[in-house]
A and B are shown apart, each in its own frame.
Chain A
């Protein structure tokens, strides 16, 4: 009998702690399938963030490091400079990457640090209960913007891909979503390119996922996906922003 579907080797058998319908799970799977397809599992080192994915080190079946909040790109820099022939990736939420860790991500990209960043943008601080994030869209209700994000006091959401795309060291920058099978397939192609960029030594690569947080958004998983398409995608357009490596 031929096995047509199974767990990627790059994922452990540990049941995840993610809420039902949370797209962290799909994103893990996409990343893991790419690691399998590239055959680099035994030379990959992953860096987990502080956020809902803090326990990603229990799920990705490779050497893993747990970083402090926002510092994963600096930790990845340290690993990659010591072990340039290994594959190093970070997995970070929007509070982690675009708020407390904005300095680290910008400078890792500016240096052209040869790492791959998986950026999970669910527009909230999921782990701490759904507070406003730097990516919360105008009018979006969160526990710290209860009448909706008011740009006159809370300012504007940050478009990280667009920002990093201005930096010379960024070799591959793309934004994807997982709201449909077609989008998942596109997301996987982008993640593969982001790892190939690193394997080719071309520089910094990041894939931003528009991700759902049904729990703190107060929606069913299906409503949450629809909300991404209708409310997030217009603000955070999907596509490739930079693709200048040999890998692409």
Chain B
């Protein structure tokens, strides 16, 4: 690994993308992600890349579609209202099976909402978001270093599966400065893209489309996509466990909330309460298997989110009624405190919920 540098989450995300071989960025300003396009507009020309400030997120996401068709490593970033506008293109990109990376620096909603951190786009991100039967692969990093690692890997995953990958971050992770290391030498996977529309010189022509008017063929396409997601659920799920071995109560949280939850678990342990943390890192595919296994040992679960309860649906599905699943959420840009989460852990342990 290279030397440690102190970086903001958003800038680290941009730099990681460049290190991963991303040379094209199309985006539109929105708080709290502006550091990403600003960094890209400065850095990409230095490395022979292209930055385009699009006229809207609708256009930016369709530029991504075009650049992905041309075989490039390409990304965009935005925040909740902008991500909503990208859903059309993401559906087409997933339908046409093209690789790209999208970062959502989530802010509170609905509507224009606010600019403070939130996790209220979980369902939009993990369940498809746009029309049709498709999924993005979604990751929720919990530190600046993890933002770097996941962003770099996201391009490999996107190329390997020919599927868009979304990184869910927020204003806390985006603005936070932490020491990070970038790998000294990194060789992009260079997975061949014989399907790309680059001009048909010396080969049969390529067509990229998500249109299929024959329902038999369109069903086959949907089945093939479902098989891809199933394969991904075996290969891409990841999570982290902390003090779960003997836990009476396991907090389930990702990203910013997982940092708070971990501090609350430490506090509980000091007070003699057997608490643990299950931190999903892949949000789609969701680490359901690991969570189900844990349910054979853990007493109860407490899902903590910066939303009124979205990931908790996946936690309940994974635990499948074998253990109680409780929920604590703050919304609109409010961040749960260690004290609050500790209080909720105690309530679960004391059977007060």
**Chain A residues near B (Cβ < 8 Å):** 41-45, 47-48, 54-55, 57-58, 61-68, 71, 74-83, 86-87, 103-104, 106-107, 111
Q: Are B205 and A103 in contact (CB-based, < 8 A)?
A: no
Q: Are B65 and A78 in contact (CB-based, < 8 A)?
A: yes
Of the candidates A41, A44, A66, A77, the one whose C-beta lies within 8 Å of that of B63 is: A77
Of the candidates B52, B200, B211, the one whose C-beta lies within 8 Å of that of A77 is: B52
Residues of A near B60 (CB, < 8 A) are 74
Of the candidates A83, A86, A107, the one whose C-beta lies within 8 Å of that of B55 is: A107
Q: Which residue of B lies closest to A75 (CB)?
A: B66
Known contacts A68-B89, A77-B63; is-contact A103 B69 (Cβ 8 Å): no
Alpha-carbon distance between A81 and B50 when the two chains are bound, in angstroms: 7
11 interchain pairs, CB-CB under 8 A: A41-B200, A45-B198, A63-B205, A63-B206, A66-B207, A71-B62, A74-B63, A75-B62, A78-B63, A78-B64, A81-B63
Q: Are B69 and A78 in contact (CB-based, < 8 A)?
A: yes
User: Nearest-CB distance from A17 to chain B (Å)?
Assistant: 10
**Chain B residues near A (Cβ < 8 Å):** 24, 26, 50, 52, 54-56, 58-60, 62-72, 74, 88-89, 92, 96, 197-202, 205-211
Q: Are A62 and B205 in contact (CB-based, < 8 A)?
A: yes
Alpha-carbon distance between A80 and B72 when the two chains are bound, in angstroms: 11
Q: Are A107 and B59 in contact (CB-based, < 8 A)?
A: yes
Alpha-carbon distance between A68 and B98 when the two chains are bound, in angstroms: 14
Known contacts A78-B64, A81-B50; is-contact A65 B198 (Cβ 8 Å): no
User: Nearest-CB distance from B20 to chain A (Å)?
Assistant: 16
Q: Are B70 and A82 in contact (CB-based, < 8 A)?
A: yes
Alpha-carbon distance between A116 and B56 when the two chains are bound, in angstroms: 21
Q: Which residue of A lies closest to B71 (CB)?
A: A82
User: Nearest-CB distance from A8 to chain B (Å)?
Assistant: 15
Of the candidates B24, B96, B200, B202, the one whose C-beta lies within 8 Å of that of A82 is: B24
Q: Which residue of A lies closest to B51 (CB)?
A: A81
Residues of B near A77 (CB, < 8 A) are 26, 52, 59, 63, 66
Residues of B near A103 (CB, < 8 A) are 55-56, 58-59
For A44, A61, A75, A76, the residue with the greatest tally of chain B CB atoms inside 10 Å of its CB is A75
Residues of B near A64 (CB, < 8 A) are 197, 205-209
Residues of A near B50 (CB, < 8 A) are 81-82
Q: Are B58 and A78 in contact (CB-based, < 8 A)?
A: no
